[in-house]
Chain A
């Protein structure tokens, strides 16, 4: 039953949702759209791997994780988690995993961290005698101090997320699913928290981790391998290093401008040094990403064209490609 070294494997995994525009429209059979949240995904994640699913809002990350956790049933395809089929052996899958969701509300706010953990531990069918010890160990790991006995509603978002992580570890599962683990946390705490996930949970406790994120730094810093996901599909899959090397262009020019014109975009892409131009909007501005072999060679000309069109430039920078640039190049979508 256990295939060697594969912790999580999916074949043709597919999930669609029907969106009905309100009850009346549903009755009139109007305005029905089908959204493919997970589109024919084949993926293998190795034991002890820290694997990241990187993609923008609505890409299908949460749906993918929920299918693997048995909370959502797929339309087609199947998946194995710790050797168990998610459709045929949901009990065994649940025994093998820990899950944190991105909602702050996943814990009981009117209970303390200790009470939360004790209750959830019982739902994992641990022997009563082990529960107290396990909870104590995890509270020590979290280092919450006196807050262990304070109501969860009084904890900071960061500490709530810590408790959620501890909850996912209660049954000492070989596999963890972390859905956007640092969403909404302040940057310094996020840094610490990522450190903890990588060092304590993945490297020292040897947990296989599948995490989702739309922060490229998070994927870059943490993950052994990353899959880009966009509109339910895997657009690329490799180590962060290889992904960043995968595009030929050495430089990216990023410009924030008031607006764009057809003419201007056409002229820019016609430069020999420019291989492609991606355009998207951000905070009322239009952002242009110009992929080039040499920023210095085309910079002057690009600026010239833009000012000729009487378009205002709000900011301008040149850098080597980041993971997000690669994402944009491959999918045409931005992460945030």
Chain B
């Protein structure tokens, strides 16, 4: 039987097949292609018009009191780009598994010897490419069309911190994949958590603007630290707070990956005990 590094190498090569297959499936659903192409532009324009209506421009001094920067539009666009990664990392795997369940193919995958995590990894890579495309187009489009300058050398910080954030998010992703297997229902749950997450973490407004109880909840959401670290660059870069936030993220990463895997393992066994891998 296949063991050790030989198995690991084979498992890794499966991720390529998963990406290929996800791409082919995606291409054959025209509505998904259209969404992907238009989404970055529409979402940015929405943010822009919102900003104009609320603040009357792209900067705001009132905003600066909370955020340390008056560049309201940059603040929001960056938050939004990071949120793309947040959403796909948390929901991408669970949604893909739910799709297979609805299509009727989940048992065919489950009975194969490949590790479930290999399939998850493939899905995550595929989704990651999507997120990169969307975030990149959003930033590019904003820079070209809108009166805001985002493309600076400090962009490296954003990429680095978002990468650090992703591990926590994939931990949550495993957890929610377990929840898909436990409860089947995903859509309402996705909306609920996404909205809550947006509310309790400083995506659309800074931490200082939150009422105290919510700000406390925000302290337990890894996104908060990522955004604090990233936004530093919109105002003044503060390397001490960057390092501090990054360290907190690493702790979150470990905790979320461990908890997520435990929940998934439990849910997977429970589904196999109840004969519920396939039911929809």
A interface residue numbers (CB < 8 A to B): 17, 63, 66, 69-73, 91-92, 94-95, 97, 99, 101, 103-111, 115, 118-120, 122-128, 151, 167
| B13 contact from A118, A128, A167, Cβ within 8 A | A128
B112 within 8 A of A: yes
Bound Cα distance A128, B112 (Å) = 16
B211 within 8 A of A: no
Least CB separation from B277: chain A residue: A71
Bound Cα distance A103, B7 (Å) = 31
| B24 contact from A97, A106, A115, A167, Cβ within 8 A | A115
Contact between chains at A17 and B113 (CB < 8 Å): no
| A111 contact from B11, B21, B104, B274, Cβ within 8 A | B21
Contact between chains at B113 and A118 (CB < 8 Å): no
What is the interface size of chain B, counting residues whose CB is below 8 A from a CB of the partner? 34
| A124 contact from B110, B114, B119, Cβ within 8 A | B114
Which B residues from 249 to 280 make CB contacts under 8 A with A? 269, 272-275, 277-278
A-B contact pairs, 21 of them (CB 8 A): A17-B275, A70-B111, A71-B277, A72-B273, A91-B113, A92-B1, A94-B112, A97-B111, A99-B111, A106-B104, A106-B105, A108-B21, A108-B103, A110-B24, A123-B114, A123-B119, A124-B114, A125-B7, A127-B10, A128-B13, A151-B28
Contact between chains at B24 and A111 (CB < 8 Å): yes
B240 within 8 A of A: no
Given contacts A119-B21, A125-B2, contact A105 B110 (CB under 8 A): no
Q: Provide the residues of chain A in CB contact with B24, threshold 8 Å.
A: 110-111, 115
B31 within 8 A of A: no
Contact between chains at A120 and B108 (CB < 8 Å): yes
Contact between chains at B103 and A95 (CB < 8 Å): no
Bound Cα distance A123, B10 (Å) = 9
0/1 string, B75-116, CB within 8 A of A gives 1? 000000000000000000000000000011101111111100
Least CB separation from B15: chain A residue: A122
